[in-house]
Amino acid sequence: MSRKIRIAVLASGGGTNLQALIDAERSGNIPDGEIAIVICNRKSAYAAERAKEAGIRAEIVTRKAYGGQEGFEARMTELFEEENIELIVLAGFLNILSEDFVRRYDHRIINIHPSLIPAFCGEGFYGLVPHIAALERGVRVTGATVHFVNEIADGGEIIAQKAVEVRPGDTPEELQKRVMEQAEWVILPEAVSRICTERIQQKEREQDNGCI
Ligand code: GAR
């Protein structure tokens, strides 16, 4: 049996956070985890191409193809079971998961959000929206947050945060780019690696206890 934590990455778009995870794994910075599958909920998601290029299984699972949210989540569950997934990473995944789904994977789903939660988060705050809101509010620092996913949008336990300065005259796109480069692509791989190592250590402790 594999001693690494098997990871599913869920993405909807460009997949730069997925790429940061792939690069981190390849360079040995996620020693206790491996990306086993990438699931995209949009046919056009470039993230699927990035996965394929890296030799990772990529699946397109749309709500439309599976008759709505329930069928869509059932298909994802099937894929997680097939691949023995223990950690689910939402990396730019623009779909609100049902309460049932989220509860089933309690503390096994994490998300990257492009602001310092609790600012500029919750339903509707995705992609450029948190950056537009940050600029409108005139904050001098923003950033990114990695958190566990629970039934409240962006409401789960915070795992990691990193602040990024807002510069005078920033456009939402410029701010988004800086937040990605300086925060998201840094804290997401770090958090994933830390969780995988903790889970492996926990398994080892459980095994040791079982032997006594
Ligand atoms: C990222 O900025 C991510 O933080 C954000 O979508 C972008 C996806 O980019 N996620 C959210 O807004 C979730 N609420 P990517 O596809 O290049 O990783």
Mean pLDDT for the chain overall: 96
Residue 16 has pLDDT above 60, yes or no: yes
Both tokens of 23, joined, read 């690069």
Checking if the pLDDT of 4 tops 90, the result is yes
With a pLDDT cut of 70, the percent of the chain lying above it is 98
pLDDT in tens, 41-65: 999 999 999 999 999 999 999 999 9
Amino acid at 155: G
What is the pLDDT, as a whole number, of residue 212?
A: 55
pLDDT at 89: 98
- Spell out the residues 6+ positions from residue 126 whose beta carbon is closer than 8 angstroms to its own: 94
Instruction: Report the candidate in 188, 100, 199, 101 with the shortest Cα–Cα distance to residue 143.
Output: 188
User: What global pTM score does this model have?
Assistant: 0.97
| Cβ of 143 below 6 Å from ligand 1 | no
Cα of 1 vs centre of ligand 1, distance in Å, is 33
Domains belonging to the chain, first-starting first, are: 5-211 (3.40.50.170)
- Residues facing 163 on adjacent strands: 143
Ligand 1, residue 46: give the atom nearest the CA.
Answer: 16
pLDDT in tens, 164-180: 999 999 999 999 999 99
Closest residue by Cα to atom 12, ligand 1, is 126
pLDDT at 153 over 90: yes
Q: What is the rounded CA–CA span in Å between residue 80 and residue 6?
A: 9
- CA-to-CA distance for 9 and 31, rounded, in angstroms? 17
Mean pLDDT along residues 24-52: 98
Question: Is 113 an active-site residue?
Answer: yes
pLDDT over threshold 60, residue 2: no
Q: For residue 14, give both structure tokens.
A: 């460009």
At 210, the pLDDT band (50, 70, 90 cuts) reads: confident
pLDDT tens, position by position, 119-144: 999 999 999 999 999 999 999 999 99
Task: Please report the pLDDT score of residue 211 as a whole number.
Answer: 66
Å from CA of 88 to ligand 1 middle: 15
Give yes or no for a contact between 12 and 45, defined as CB atoms under 8 angstroms apart. yes
